[in-house]
Amino acid sequence: MSKYPNFRLENKVALVTGAARGLGRACALALAHAGADVALGLRDVSTSADLVEEIESMGRRAIPLQMDVSSMEQIKSAVWEAIEVFSRIDILVNNVGVAPANPAEKVTEEDYDTTMDLNVKASFFTAQAVGRHMIEQGGGRIINMSSQAGFIALQDEAIYCTSKAAINHMTRNLASEWAKFNITVNAVAPTFIETPGTKPWLDDPEFKQSVIDRIPLGRIGKPVEVAGPVVFLASDAASLITGSVLLIDGGWTAR
């Protein structure tokens, strides 16, 4: 172990799911900026040209992977392809998630299944596919995308909040099971961040102000403020951290 903490990711390979935009894109760019080559999990590979270009301009390698995480086949084939190209995966950022607003009394079985399948089932089986490889390779880092919604109740978001609480507990379970394989498993739990996913909500000035009023730091987050902690958890500097869910919430849940 080095005398000083090492935050760099040279010679590491990362796989980021849902990398096309929002937090996934910010994480992919930040990991590359810290030195990693990046496999980009995408629902539509045709959306990635500028992202690949930006990563390559940093002197890193990037490959777009067809990876709709609602398909078990695509999860498996994308992980296989990433390993074919890069020979390893050191870091998984399990980012994909959806948050349709839906009052509890109106939630249908289909709504429930869609959110739980994309947020929980897909994260579990992506972690499993990559985890099997990490076990063989002798270790790795898994970072799940949770939310402050895994800690607190958000209005009209019962299923989303439930799914993120499940992510938090899945993080602890996988951390506990896979510590013996030198795999750390952590999660990050952001507050409201400006992304294409939250734009329709934050475009409503009243809603936006109500969010800002709840955040002691008094502002909406930027994607890079989530990507930084993800890079930290992926780095050797975080070698003793596993089973943690790191809140990135400007103090929302501290009040």
Q: Enumerate binding residues for ligand NAP (CB under 6 A).
A: 18, 20-24, 43-44, 47, 67-70, 95-97, 99, 118, 145, 147, 190, 192-193, 195-198
Question: Rounded to the nearest whole angstrom, what is the least distance from the CB of residue 249 to ligand NAP in the complex?
Answer: 9
Letter for the amino acid at 39?
A
Question: Rounded to the nearest whole angstrom, what is the least distance from the CB of residue 135 to ligand NAP in the complex?
Answer: 24
What 3-state class would DSSP assign to 37?
strand
Residue 191, Cα to own-chain centre: how many angstroms?
Answer: 14
Nearer to ligand NAP, 20 or 39 (CB): 20
Report which of 155, 159, 130, 157 is spatially closest to residue 142, judged by C-alpha positions.
130
Contact 249, 190 (CB under 8 A): yes
Nearer to ligand NAP, 17 or 184 (CB): 17
Nearer to ligand NAP, 59 or 205 (CB): 205
Contact 60, 12 (CB under 8 A): no
Whether 160 is catalytic: yes
Nearer to ligand NAP, 127 or 145 (CB): 145
Cα 55 from Cα 75, distance rounded (Å): 23
Q: How many CA atoms lie within 13 A of 29 on its CB side?
A: 18
Letter for the amino acid at 96?
V
Question: Rounded to the nearest whole angstrom, what is the least distance from the CB of residue 25 to ligand NAP in the complex?
Answer: 7
Question: Rounded to the nearest whole angstrom, what is the least distance from the CB of residue 142 to ligand NAP in the complex?
Answer: 14
Catalytic residue among 86, 124, 160, 252: 160
The residue behind tokens 């996988």 is: 174
Catalytic residues: 160
